[in-house]
Amino acid sequence: MALTFYWYPKCGTCRKAKRWLDEHGVDVRTVHLVDEPLTKEELARLHRQSGLPLRKFFNTSGMKYRELGLKDQLDRASEEEMLDWLASDGMLVKRPILTDGERVVVGFREQEYEAFFAQRPPAAT
């Protein structure tokens, strides 16, 4: 399955991740998280596939996160509420997100990308 890379091009971490992908010859379909925000259903699927707590999908260093005071609300929020917040504004979503349709990496750490591709089955010929 094709790789999808959800990002915000002005984000330095996203640019680092994209550069890593380019340097390693990895072809991805890019999706601009602000211009094409993820739906609640897409976020729920990515969350399930990632195996991460849903709170890991929040861009906790973002202005929007602070403006909404989400730090104090996440502990008592339901999964539904969290998905609603994330789907309401692409700037609330931690980025980048890389997926092959089954596995998901949130954020960018070189070691995680290396592990992701080490475990990836070879493309069919």
pLDDT tier for residue 119 given thresholds of 50, 70 and 90 = confident
pLDDT digits (tens, 9 = 90+) for 45-97: 999 999 999 999 999 999 999 999 999 999 999 999 999 999 999 999 999 99
pLDDT, mean over the chain: 93
Length of the chain in terms of residues written:
125
Q: What's this model's pTM, rounded to 2 decimal places?
A: 0.90
pLDDT for 88: 95
**Which stretches does DSSP call E strand in the chain?**
3-7, 28-32, 97-99, 104-106
Contact 62/68 with Cβ under 8 angstroms?
A: no
